[in-house]
Amino acid sequence: MKLKLKNSMATKLIVMYMASSFVVLTSFALIVQYSIKHHFYQQDYQRLNNNYHTIFSAFDSLGNNDITALKAESAYLWVLDRDGIPLFTNTTLSLPEDSKKLNSMEWTVDGHTYRAFRFQLKHPQYGAIVLGLNIDLHLLFISKFNIVLLWTFVITSVISGVYAVFIVHKGLKPLHVLQKYLSKVSPNRLDIRVPVEALPVELVQLVETQNEMLERLQHGFNRLSEFSSDIAHELRTPLTNIMTQTHVTLSSKRTVEEYEEILLSNVEELERLNKTIQDTLYLAKSENHLLHTNKEMLQLAEVIRPLLEFYEFMADEKEVCVELRGDGEQFGDKQMLQRAVGNIISNALRHCDVGSVVSIQLSEGEEYNSIKIKNTGETIPESSLPYLFDRFYRADKSRQHSRSIGAGLGLAITRSIVQAHGGEITVSSSERVTEFTLTMKKGEV
C-alpha cells in the first residue's frame, strides 16, 4: 500500500498542486502583511513629519530658553542637544539607549509599543528633535488581521486540496479510458486499438505508439501461428509417409529387396525431415543473431565459382549455361554467402527453361556490392513476389521438384544471411525473366 501511494501519479500531482498552493498563499500572506506594516510605518512617519515641520517653523520665533513652549500635536517630543542628550521632553517616557544612532526606532515599555523618528536640526544649540507615538492600535489591528489571514489560509488550503483531488481525477480520466481498453488485450484479442480522437494531445503520441506495438504483436502472433501451422504440415508429411510405408511393410512378409527399397524411401523422408529441422534452427539463430560468423575480406568471384562446379551436373541435365561476370571485394562469411547465393542458383536452375542461360553479374560499388542472378523460365506471379522470402512459402506448389527435399525455407535463409551482411534482397519477374538482386554492404556491418 505504501509503495502504491509512493508511486501514485495522482498522489504526486495532488502533493505538487498543494505545495504550489501553499507557496502562493504564503507569499500572498507575507506580501499583504508587509504591505500593511509598511502602510502604518509610512502613515506614522508622515504624521510625525508634519509635526516636525510645524515645530521647526516655531524655532525662529522662540528664544533659546523658550523650547518649553514647543508643542507636538498628539505626539511625544524630545529635543536633543548636539550630543544627543535630551534637553526637553513633554513625556515621562524615556528613549531607548541606542536612540543616538538611529533615525527610526521602536521599543516596548510596560506592555506598550512606541515608534519614534529622529529629525536633524541645523541649530547651534539643538541637534535633533525626536517625535514618537503609541502604535498599540496598529499592532492590535495587525494581530487580528493575522488571525483572519490564518483562517483564510487554512480554509483556502482545504478548498485547494479538494479542488486538487477533483481536477487530478478529471485530468487522469483519459488514463483510465486507456487502461480500460488495454485491459481487454489478450493473445486472442490483439486486434484492439485505442481511439485517439477523444484523447488529449499529450497522450496521442503514447497511444499511437501503443497501437503500433499492438500492430506488431498481432503481426508477430499471426506469423507465429502461421509458422506453427506450416512447420506442423512440413513435419507431418514425411512422418506420415514413413508411418504409412512402415505399416504397409509390416502388414505382410517382404523380400529383402522390398525391405531395402522401403528403407531407402524412409531415409529420403528422414533426410527431408532433418533438412527442414536444420533450416528452421538456422533461421531462428540467424534472426536472433546467434550464428557464429567468421567474416573476412573476400573476392566474390572466388566465393561463387565453387558453386558453379557444385551445380554443374544439374545445369548439364537441363543443358543450361551458367555465366559468371564481374567481381568485387566483400567483407563477409564465406560459407554463409555461398549458402545464400547457392539457394538462388539452385532455384534458378530448377525453374529455368531447358537450353537457356543463367547469368550471375557481380558489381562493386563504393559502399555496397550487388549480385544479380537472372534466369529465363516461368514467370513468378506478381501477387507472390512480396511473400517469396517468407518461411515455407511457395509461389506455385506445382513448381516443386519431385526430387527436392526443400521445405520452402531456402529464400528465407538467403534473406536472413543478406540482412546479416547489412543488405537486402529483391526479386523481379516479368515476361519469363526472373532476376534476384542481392545488395550487401561492402565493409563491416
Residue 191, domain member (yes or no): no
What pLDDT digit, counting tens, does each position of 233-277 carry?
777 877 888 888 888 888 888 888 888 888 888 888 888 788 778
What pLDDT digit, counting tens, does each position of 25-40 carry?
899 999 999 999 999 9
Residues 216 and 340 in one domain: no
Residue 23, domain member (yes or no): yes
Q: CA–CA distance from 47 to each of 67, 73, 116, 240, 271 (Å)?
A: 21, 10, 11, 115, 114
Q: What CATH number is associated with residue 206? A: 1.10.287.130
pLDDT band at 70 (very low <50, low <70, confident <90, very high): low
CA distance 148 to 113: 22
Residue 180, domain member (yes or no): no
pLDDT band at 362 (very low <50, low <70, confident <90, very high): very high
Residue 179, domain member (yes or no): no
Q: CA–CA distance from 284 to each of 102, 230, 295 (Å)?
A: 90, 15, 20
Q: What percent of the chain has pLDDT over 90?
A: 33
Crossing angle of the two packed helices 173-182 and 136-171, in degrees rounded to 10:
20
Which residue in 57, 82, 83 sits closest to 70, CA to CA? 57
Q: What CATH number is associated with residue 70? A: 3.30.450
Q: What is the pLDDT of residue 418?
A: 92
Residue 373, domain member (yes or no): yes
Residues 437 and 419 in one domain: yes
Residues 71 and 160 in one domain: yes
Tallying the residues shown for the chain, one arrives at: 445
Burial 360-395 (b: 16+ CB within 10 A, else e): bebbeeeebbbbbbbbbbeebeeeeeeebbbbbbbb
Q: What is the pLDDT of residue 402?
A: 41
Number of domains in the chain: 3
Beta bridge pairs of residue 333: 295
Residues 116 and 222 in one domain: no
Cell readout for 422 is 547489412
Answer with the one of 284, 308, 338 that is the final residue of a domain: 284
Q: What is the pLDDT of residue 59?
A: 65
The secondary structure of 159-196 as a DSSP string is HHHHHHHHHHHHHTHHHHHHHHHHTT--TT-TT-----
Residues 321 and 397 in one domain: yes
Answer with the one of 264, 284, 304 that is the final residue of a domain: 284
Q: What share of the chain is helix, strand, coil (3-state, %, to 5)?
A: 55, 20, 25
Q: Contact, 254 vs 262, CB < 8 A?
A: yes
pLDDT band at 56 (very low <50, low <70, confident <90, very high): confident
Residues 308 and 332 in one domain: yes
Q: Contact, 414 vs 401, CB < 8 A?
A: no
What pLDDT digit, counting tens, does each position of 370-423 carry?
999 999 998 998 888 888 888 777 665 544 434 444 557 888 889 989 988 989
CA distance 241 to 248: 11
Q: Contact, 105 vs 41, CB < 8 A?
A: no
Q: CA–CA distance from 342 to each of 7, 113, 242, 389, 411 (Å)?
A: 57, 106, 29, 15, 10
Q: What is the pLDDT of residue 69?
A: 61
The secondary structure of 253-301 as a DSSP string is ---HHHHHHHHHHHHHHHHHHHHHHHHHHHHHHHHTT-----EEEEEHH
CA distance 309 to 305: 7
Cell readout for 414 is 538467403
Place of cell 477533483: 166
Mean pLDDT, all residues of the chain:
84
CA distance 28 to 21: 10
pLDDT band at 8 (very low <50, low <70, confident <90, very high): confident
Residue 189, domain member (yes or no): no
What pLDDT digit, counting tens, does each position of 131-172 carry?
999 999 999 999 999 999 999 989 998 998 899 889 888 888
Residues 143 and 250 in one domain: no
Residues 38 and 62 in one domain: yes
Residues 266 and 158 in one domain: no
CA distance 66 to 86: 15
* Radius of gyration for the alpha carbons in the chain, expressed in angstroms and rounded: 50
Residues 236 and 278 in one domain: yes
- 132 three-state secondary structure: strand
Answer with the one of 124, 152, 167 that is the final residue of a domain: 167
CA distance 254 to 248: 10
With 0.75 as the threshold, say if the pTM is over it. Answer: no
47: which residues sit within 8 A by CB, 6+ positions away? 75, 133
Residue 188, domain member (yes or no): no
Q: What is the pLDDT of residue 374?
A: 95
- The parent domain of residue 314 ranges over 293-441
Residue 194, domain member (yes or no): no
Q: What is the pLDDT of residue 15?
A: 86
C-alpha angle 301-302-303 in degrees, rounded to nearest 5: 90
Q: What is the pLDDT of residue 43?
A: 93
Residues 159 and 120 in one domain: yes
Average pLDDT over residues 280-288: 77
The pLDDT of residue 124 is above 50:
yes
Residues 275 and 348 in one domain: no
